[in-house]
């Protein structure tokens, strides 16, 4: 490890060079210099990438003309990761408090494989007239006959399965070929197929909820607070939304929409269910890809309690929008 650059030099090969140079330029900055110091001094990988998540958010906000204070104390003895003073069109700056968490995973960043590039056999599943998002995974190296067996078993399962259910496909000798999971309803009339990781389905929603609860403990009272959580997979976005809103379920106590046979809703396990964690009204997610120069952030606003739409629009422009 370089004595001068510390962990920042140790992990440099995994990071975008533009990002490294920009972060190194924070030396001497009264607030961001502490983030640089933390990146250099960490002695374990998790702590380093947790701080890199904070640095990624800081870069994103600086590019949008924001002024930042780092680790701002609250009256309850906690610390907000950032106090953000952000510009708005035709008016003075607005202030919000941002709480950054990272879902740690040993999996490398995986970009979605395109269905067309994988196999045309799976396209058959999209002909099934059921309005579900269906995730299919399979082990590498399957023969044409094994892939066809997987597709046949998947089709039979999809025809009778409900939201949240999954099955494992096996060969004649009991060897696991892959699996199918009914992820959620969607607005289409036929199955929408997505691709899952070969080892198995991983539901990150419970971990996202725990991180959101930790962030909630750092809220600044009587202020606009935003939870921002990142993770290492681009398809974790759905699990984050599930953590906020609740698991998809079939509702037998409600009338289905016109033209639908079953009503769908959300279970009571969502972070924002009912009046739970009522001070939380905004939360965001992004994929932390250390080799990328930019992070695409997405913001959710709570819809089961009053929201200032002007504040929502402003936050969306700051966190999701282009450079100002």
pLDDT score, position 119: 58
**Same domain (yes/no): 119, 103:** no
In a domain? residue 261: no
b/e code 57-85 from CB counts within 10 Å (16+ = b): bbbbbeebebebbbebeeeeeeebbbbbb
Quick one: three-class SS letters along 105-148? Answer: CCCCCECCCCHHHHCHHHHHHHHCCCCEEEEEEECCCCCHHHHH
Establish if 26 belongs to a structural domain. yes
Residue at 31 is within a domain: yes
How many other CB atoms are there within 10 angstroms of residue 25's CB atom? 11
Do 64 and 187 belong together in one domain?
Answer: no
Number of structural domains found in the chain: 2
Tell me what pLDDT residue 273 has: 93
Q: What pLDDT is recorded for position 144?
A: 85
Residue 223 domain-assigned?
yes
Both 313 and 213 in a single domain?
yes
Judge whether residue 2 has pLDDT over 50: no
pLDDT at 249: 59
Task: Examine the domain organization and report whether 309 and 209 are in the same domain.
Answer: yes
Residues 241 and 313 in one domain: yes
- Shared domain for 227 and 309, answered yes or no, is yes
| pLDDT at 323 (0 to 100) | 44
Does residue 28 lie in a domain region?
A: yes
pLDDT class for 250, splitting at 50, 70, 90?
A: low
Domain's final residue, options 135, 161, 195: 195
Same-domain check for residues 20 and 169: no
The domain boundary, picked from 195, 218, 235, lies at 195
pLDDT at residue 133 tops 90: no
Q: How far apart are the first and last CA of the chain?
A: 38
Instruction: From 112, 240, 267, 122, select the one nearest 192 (Cα to Cα).
Output: 122
Could you tell me if 169 and 51 lie in one domain? Answer: no
Task: Tell which residue, 25, 32, 28, has the closest CA to residue 61.
Answer: 32
Which residues constitute the domain of residue 35?
A: 7-107+204-246+266-320
For residue 263, the model assigns a pLDDT of 45
pLDDT value of residue 203: 64
Task: Round the average pLDDT of the chain to a whole number and report it.
Answer: 85
pLDDT in tens, 195-232: 765 555 556 889 999 999 999 999 999 999 999 999 98
| Same-domain status, 170 and 32 | no
| 63 and 136 co-located in one domain | no
Q: Is the pLDDT of residue 3 over 60?
A: no
Indicate whether 98 pLDDT > 90: yes
What is the tens place of the pLDDT at every residue in 280-292? 999 999 999 999 9
3-state secondary structure of 8: helix
> Is residue 133 one of the residues assigned to a domain?
yes
pLDDT at 54: 97
Quick check: is 257 in a domain? no
Per-residue confidence (pLDDT) for residue 251, from 0 to 100? 41
Residue 137: its pLDDT value, please?
Answer: 84
Are both 179 and 315 inside the same structural domain? no
Q: Is residue 260 part of a domain?
A: no
Same domain, 211 and 315: yes
């Amino acid at each position: 490890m370089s004595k001068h650059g510390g962990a920042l030099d140790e992990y440099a090969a995994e990071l975008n060079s533009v990002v490294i140079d920009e972060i190194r330029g924070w030396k001497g900055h009264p607030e961001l210099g502490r983030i640089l110091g933390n990146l250099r001094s960490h002695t374990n990988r998790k702590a380093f990438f947790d701080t890199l998540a904070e640095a990624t958010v800081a870069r994103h906000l600086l590019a949008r003309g924001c002024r930042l204070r780092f680790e701002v104390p609250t009256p309850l003895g906690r610390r907000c990761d950032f106090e953000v003073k952000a510009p708005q069109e035709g008016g003075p700056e607005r202030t919000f408090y941002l709480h950054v968490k990272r879902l740690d995973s040993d999996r490398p960043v995986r970009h979605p494989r395109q269905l067309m590039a994988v196999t045309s056999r799976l396209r058959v599943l999209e002909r099934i007239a059921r309005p579900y998002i269906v995730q299919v995974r399979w082990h590498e190296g399957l023969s044409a006959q094994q892939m066809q067996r997987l597709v046949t078993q998947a089709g039979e399962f999809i025809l009778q399965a409900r939201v949240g259910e999954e099955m494992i496909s096996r060969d004649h000798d009991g060897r696991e070929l892959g699996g199918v999971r009914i992820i959620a309803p969607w607005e289409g009339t036929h199955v929408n197929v997505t691709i899952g990781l070969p080892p198995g389905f991983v539901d990150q929603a419970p971990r996202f909820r725990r991180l959101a609860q930790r962030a909630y403990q750092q809220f600044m009272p009587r202020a606009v607070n935003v939870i921002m959580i990142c993770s290492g997979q681009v398809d974790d976005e759905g699990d984050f939304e599930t953590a906020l809103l609740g698991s998809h379920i079939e509702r037998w106590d409600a009338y289905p929409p016109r033209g639908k046979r079953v009503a769908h809703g959300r279970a009571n396990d969502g972070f924002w269910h009912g009046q739970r964690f009522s001070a939380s009204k905004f939360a965001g997610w992004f994929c932390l890809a250390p080799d990328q120069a930019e992070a695409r952030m997405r913001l959710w606003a709570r819809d089961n309690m009053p929201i200032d739409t002007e504040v929502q629009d402003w936050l969306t422009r700051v966190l999701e929008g282009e450079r100002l």
